[in-house]
Amino acid sequence: MKDSDARTNVAPQSTRSNQRPPISARKLKANRENAKKSTGPKTVRGKAFSRRNAVKHGLFVNSVTDFEALYEDPKQYQELLNGLWDQYQPVGRAEEMEVERIALSCWRLKRAWRYENAENLAARRDFVRAELDYQEEYCKQKDKEEEAIIVELESAKKEIEETRQLSQERKQRIIVMMPGLQELWLALDERAQKLMEHPSAANMMRKTNPEWRIWASDIYTVTQLIAYLKDLGQRRYLNVREAAVGRHAIPNPEVLDRILRYETTIERYLNRAMERLDRLQRHRRGEAVSPPLSVHLS
């Protein structure tokens, strides 16, 4: 009898020990006041992330290390997935999986673009520098030749200012140094004549003698030739650099073939996911859905 009384007295003590002590009214009030301060995210971005906290996604991307290993930002992928989630509004796990497949396919296409840029960058680093070094001697030689012509043209300009005319010997010497200047010289001389015949300058030109007009035309022509040669040297370096870089604007054939095959596979995967999602959502809405077309070529 005593043993049974002892056993009956043990249970109530155990039950009472597991019960939480009653909370005071003061503590309860403090807890409620603190809860008011935790209202969740307030920004649009914060709400976009938090509203999917209960969604169990990540079937294909299981860890942030999948991104960090490639120096990618997992938040950008999350934003992409959230945007597609809002766009398609999936219902049920099957639709959710297709939205995840779409997001992953889009992200993989972005990786392909990143890989292409990296290959181009490596090519420019490894090959363009060598090509520019190869062209540097050519550019230096042309700069040296044009610098000598510029010196001669500046002497011709000084001669015109002092004697009011340009000697034919000096003019011929300049053209021999760079035969291509002859046509440009004639074109600039004709342009100078047209400028002096312009109505805005016609009145002033009538008050001058023919020798002055020849002097003004020669000054204009020689000045323009000097500016042309100086600009030619700058454009030469730009053209050489553009040619060297432009040759590597797209990857080499081996890399390009790899990129195209990868993108084709991903785009096929993306299109299939979008088609499956469309069929699932139409079926859920009660719309008529035709069976998928399957063609087998033998």
Does the structure show a pLDDT above 60 at 40?
A: no
Does the structure show a pLDDT above 90 at 63?
A: no
Q: Give Cα separations from 42 to 31, 45, 134, 209 (angstroms).
A: 21, 8, 60, 83
pLDDT of residue 223: 92
Does the structure show a pLDDT above 60 at 46?
A: no
For the stretch 194-229, pLDDT in tens is 877 776 665 665 556 667 778 888 889 999 999 999
Give the Cα separation of 197 and 174 in Å (integer): 28
pLDDT of residue 209: 64
DSSP the chain: -HHHHHHHHHHHHHHHHHSPPPPPHHHHHHHHHHHHH-----SHHHHHHHTTTT----SS---THHHHTTT--HHHHHHHHHHHHHHH---SHHHHHHHHHHHHHHHHHHHHHHHHHHHHHHHIIIIIHHHHHHHHHHHHHHHHHHHHHHHHHHHHHHHHHHHSS--HHHHHHHHHH-TTHHHHHHHHHHHHHHHHTSHHHHHHHHTS-HHHHHHHHHHHHHHHHHHHHHHHHHHHHHHHHHHHHHTTSS--HHHHHHHHHHHHHHHHHHHHHHHHHHHHHHHHTT---PPPP-----
Give the Cα separation of 298 and 296 in Å (integer): 7
Q: Which residue has the higher pLDDT, 234 or 8?
A: 234
What is the percent of the chain where pLDDT is above 90? 32
Show the CA angle centred on residue 205, arms to residues 204 and 211, nearest 5°.
135
Q: Averaging pLDDT over each range in 4-13, 148-157, 159-168, 242-251, which range is the top one? A: 148-157
Banded pLDDT at 41 (limits 50, 70, 90): low
* Residues in Cβ contact with 235 at an 8 Å cutoff, skipping those fewer than 6 apart: none
For the stretch 82-119, pLDDT in tens is 999 999 999 999 999 999 999 999 999 999 999 999 98
For the stretch 230-282, pLDDT in tens is 898 888 888 888 887 888 888 888 999 999 999 999 999 999 999 999 999 99
Give the Cα separation of 132 and 71 in Å (integer): 32
Give the Cα separation of 101 and 162 in Å (integer): 81
pLDDT of residue 269: 94
pLDDT of residue 123: 82
Show the CA angle centred on residue 136, arms to residues 131 and 142, nearest 5°.
135
pLDDT of residue 268: 95
